[in-house]
Amino acid sequence: MSGAAVSSPLEHRGALHVLFFLVALTSVLSLAYGLQAYAGGPLRPYVADPVTDLALTPTGALKVARWDGTRWTVESPDALGYAGLYSSLMVDGKGVIHVAYYDSAAGHLKYARGETGRWDIQAVDTGEWVGPYASLSLDAQGRPHIAYCQFDNARRSCTALRYAAFDGTRWITTTVDSGRQVGAHASLALDAHGRPSIAYYDATSQTLRLASGSPSRWTLETVDAGPQVGEFASLALDPSGQPHIAYYDAAHQALKYAHRQGPDWTLETVDAGPQVGQFASLALDPSGQPHIAYYDAAHQALKYAHRQGPDWTLETVDAGPQVGEFASLALDPFGRPHIAYYDAAHHALKYAHRQGPDWTLETVDQQGDAGQYASIALDGGSRPVIGYYDAGGSLLASGTAEGTVQIWKIDDEWQRITLAGEDGAVVRVGFCSSSCGLAVLSAGRDGTVRLRDVRNGDTLAAWEVGSPVRDAALSNDGKLLATVSDDNVVRLWEVPSGKLVHEFPAEGHERLAVALSPDNLLLAAGEGANIRIWSTFSGDTVRLLAGHWENEATREKWLGHRKTVTALAFSPDGRTLVSGGADTLLIFWDLGLGRVNATAEGHWAALTKVVYDRDGETLLTGCRDAKARTWLSNSKYLASYIGHLGTVSAVSFGAEGSHLLTAGTDGTIRVWDTNTNALSRVEWVRPGLFPFWNQVLRVWLLLSGLAGLLCLWGLVRGRIWSHHLALALYLLGPVLVLLPPIFEVPSYPLPWGIRLQVGWPLLFMAVWYTGLVVFLTHSAIASHYEAPYDRPLAEQLMAIRRTRQLREGIFVAAVWLVILVVLFSVLRRFNLDIAFMAHYLPFIMAGAGTTLYVSAASIALAVVLALLGALGRLSRNPIANGAAGFYVSLIRGTPLLVQVFIWYLGLPRLNITLQPVLAGILALGVNYGAYMTEIFRAGIQAIGKGQHEAAAALGMSGAQTFRRIVLPQAFRIVIPPIGNEFIAMMKDSALVSIITVWELTFRAQKIGRQYFRAIETFLIAAAFYWVLTVIFQFLQGKLETYMARSERK
């Protein structure tokens, strides 16, 4: 026998378990990162450049799509917001495109002329609310003529029909018809001599009318006296100048057609419907035959009618559904139809054309909400050109803490340009009004406001604020800017001139937020925990919003902020002001009453931004707690959007109602789907590594993970050093975190160009190399498999047995690990609010003490009752036996929930009122006592008669025998099942939550209901129950082992 000391496998079992777990964990993580990277996951170059603000171009833009023979090209002549409604397009003989349209933000009729990439935009009529129902026509010299209506915004109807003509140097505008609700659905056509004719709808008499003549003398006549006829009128003139009109008959829900031959009108019903004829568009072929594209509302389809001889031929072009609105028809020289129309189901512009018997359908533009107010014309080569309105904003501006302003084009590629940087962080960005051109405004910590041209980044204007800017607000029309600076002075500026309108000195309170009302009449600023509102016209204080008691007499509930106001937003109707504060509250103020309407809670840090959607029905908030939330205008919480790794510093509703945008100090802009609350896109504000290195890192991660699993197999088989290449790849895996950053986590600069990653990668590396240290410091782990066989045979057999047990334990641990990985993968799909769970974890955890107290007291009571019940069941006394049997039968035969209610709600009817905790203990103790009665009875009966006889031989009485001999042995028998009952009781103690016992479940339920996050809170409670169960199972096993050893002794 050798005298050398030999390590026993048992001595290193703990180290082996640790090593196995670490190797398995890091290998699985490495594989997961690698696979997720290939699926577009977190393997992305990342350098933190905090985003400070977001701004979308005002919703809506005029777009022009042109077919060049091989593909569609799309551009936005006017992308300043709400420009492009009622677009009407024509192409002259030189191929120049002309578009008339309504700019609803400015309330003006506008006209764009140009070619691809070069556009001249003019305001035709700058009166108030002029331009809806614009209809364009070109004369023989290519000069534009436009019919349109004067709109009454309060009455939501047209009040006059107007006409504008360009004489070569200026626009001449006249009123054609007025005095009533006239001018809607205007359609203009010019005869060979340039004389205008306008078909339009008279809403007062509900008739179709025609105006013709000249700007100095108009002739008005009624075409169809109706009633309820003339909407969606479309006019065309034949070569002889005779008018032809397609229109909608609302009374009969039919498509009608009128044409004049001589002094009389001929009226025809083209399609009797029902519900057909809206969005009618008429064109005449070279032979003078009418063709009409129109919308079939009954079938939500696009239809087409044309006449050959006396009969009309009707056909469905696109069966949809939800297609055909805003139809526009043009005929090529061969009389073949080309139709542009709106696909409402997919928010897209579509185009249909026919060559031969079949229609060809294609989608032209499906970015944003494209296709409304479509107008089609054909150029000299019969190629289609389409003007239309895109209701979705197409440009996004972002400001960063490093002083840059980036302009993003919102499309599939999210292309961007970076404008020249500021000297300090950019605080706010916004798009200016049409008076600025296509320009973005930025206010920064360098105390300067700058206005830049979006197209080339040139500075159009700049002015000094006087102090570093904390917050800024740009008016909806982009003509006013409010700023608040470090000197606590609020200033109001004109844009783009930079003229100071008003200055509001500090009042002794900290000011962090400003907001302008939608009508530009009010300016609000946070002033400590209060809000001051001024008139932008006079500069006088209009109102001071301050907190107040809900009941002044009792002073029970404070309504208002208790800490500094950090975010402000006016509702679109200007009646409500919403404020967010450092106290985490979101407060809705009634501006008419100057009082709090509602208060919302949900965030647990200072709010950074509050915005309304354009309908005023939903709010979006950003917060320092790394999440964004949506709320209804009545303060009801809707949803949380979680994913940022730092403060959510900017939020914005997308141009479409189905998306919203958030940005944060983690340097990302995120797009969320509001239908599923899921993340749909992430954009980093900085470019990253080259694609080649991304591929290298992906492959490295995958190979490292596979190598780790191979090492794991070697460890189980006792030959971990046998795979040298695998071991090398595995050990080099963590070096990835020292390379240029690849994970989506914050990073911090270190010397020599290294950026330190925090979060998972750092933890990843620490865990990995901890395993390596454990391995190297226990060299006997590998050698114990090859232990010399110079030990006694019994020792060798014992070592082999323990090694086999160790391997079995490792495999069991591996199964647990795999199940946990699968479980966590499933839970990730629950869209859990991790930050919320972390915040309320201590609150829910505080209920664990109450749960243990109730369970311990109940099990003690249950043991006493069970022992008494068992003695009664074993007694020959019929009273004791009957009472015990009835107790067991009654309690086991009724639900525990009912028993809890009886103890808490039933006893008060007998004038016995119990505290919730006591009632819960009694209910649980009595219930489990009944079940444990049978356990104790079986334990007592398990003691053999020989024990009783031996005790009697020693002169012990029956009581002494039971107390000294039977009961101790019975307890040894019943302890395992009692332990199981105690574990079950801990879980059943959740039922006492219904009687307001503040244990785990009650606390989880309270928070879950309050913030609509029941899944998160109940998962926390379930985790605690599981941990407690595992702990007591371990203690029970140790107790059983100890008692078994005592029994053997």
Q: Are 437 and 456 in contact (CB under 8 A)?
A: no
**What number of residues does the chain have?**
1049
What local confidence, expressed as pLDDT, does residue 325 receive?
A: 95
Rg (CA), the chain: 40
List pLDDT tens digits, range 17-27: 555 565 666 56
CB atoms within 10 A of CB 336: 15
Contacts of 240 by beta carbon, 8 Å cutoff, 6+ apart: none
Torsion of the alpha carbons at 600, 603, 607 and 610, rounded to the nearest 10: -50
When the pLDDT of each residue in the chain is averaged and rounded to a whole number, the result is 81
Residue 406 burial (10 A CB sphere; 0-12, 13-18, 19+): buried
Just give the CATH number of 838-1048.
1.10.3720.10
Could you give phi then psi for residue 626, rounded to 5 degrees? 75, 25
Q: CA–CA separation, 441 vs 427, rounded Å?
A: 11
Q: CA–CA separation, 30 vs 28, rounded Å?
A: 5
Q: Are 484 and 465 in contact (CB under 8 A)?
A: no
What local confidence, expressed as pLDDT, does residue 926 receive?
A: 94
- Domain spanning 475-684, CATH class: mainly beta
Distance of CA 429 to the CA centre of its chain: 22
CATH architecture of 145-382: 6 Propeller (2.120)
Q: CA–CA separation, 462 vs 446, rounded Å?
A: 12
List pLDDT tens digits, range 363-399: 998 776 789 999 999 998 899 999 999 876 567 889 9
In three-state form (DSSP H/G/I as H, E/B as E, the rest C), the secondary structure along 846-895 is CHHHHHHHHHHHHHHHHHHHHHHHHHHHHCCCHHHHHHHHHHHHHHHCCC
Band (pLDDT 50/70/90 cuts) for residue 771 is low
What local confidence, expressed as pLDDT, does residue 706 receive?
A: 64
What local confidence, expressed as pLDDT, does residue 39 receive?
A: 46
List pLDDT tens digits, range 512-554: 999 999 888 999 999 999 999 999 999 999 999 998 887 777 7
Q: CA–CA separation, 714 vs 807, rounded Å?
A: 12
What local confidence, expressed as pLDDT, does residue 10 receive?
A: 40
What local confidence, expressed as pLDDT, does residue 781 receive?
A: 45
3-state SS class at 451? strand
Q: Which of 416-430, 647-661, 768-782 has the lowest mean pLDDT?
A: 768-782
What local confidence, expressed as pLDDT, does residue 391 receive?
A: 77
Q: CA–CA separation, 778 vs 10, rounded Å?
A: 13
Q: Are 68 and 116 in contact (CB under 8 A)?
A: no
Band (pLDDT 50/70/90 cuts) for residue 406 is confident
What local confidence, expressed as pLDDT, does residue 655 receive?
A: 66
- Bigger pLDDT: 400 or 962? 400
DSSP 410-439: -SSS--EEEEPPPSS-EEEEEE--GGG-SE
Could you give phi then psi for residue 312, rounded to 5 degrees? -100, 140
Checking if the pLDDT of 229 tops 70, the result is yes
What local confidence, expressed as pLDDT, does residue 23 receive?
A: 60
Q: What is the mean pLDDT of residues 871-877?
A: 86
What local confidence, expressed as pLDDT, does residue 788 receive?
A: 45
Domains of the chain, residue spans: 9-45+689-831, 145-382, 475-684, 838-1048
Q: Are 815 and 823 in contact (CB under 8 A)?
A: no
Q: Which of 6-15, 312-321, 736-745, 877-886 has the lowest mean pLDDT?
A: 736-745
In percent, how much of the chain has pLDDT > 90? Answer: 37
Q: CA–CA separation, 940 vs 932, rounded Å?
A: 12
CA angle 53, 56, 61 (to 5 degrees): 165
Distance of CA 719 to the CA centre of its chain: 51
3-state SS class at 189? strand
Q: What is the mean pLDDT of residues 766-793?
A: 48
Q: What is the mean pLDDT of residues 497-511?
A: 89
Q: Of 922, 948, 410, which Cα lies nearest the Cα of 652?
A: 410
Name the amino acid, one letter, at 861: L
Buried b (16+ CB within 10 A) or exposed e, 46-55: bbbbbbbbbb
- Bigger pLDDT: 561 or 835? 561
Alpha carbon separation from 796 to 9, 784, 788 (Å, rounded)? 11, 12, 9
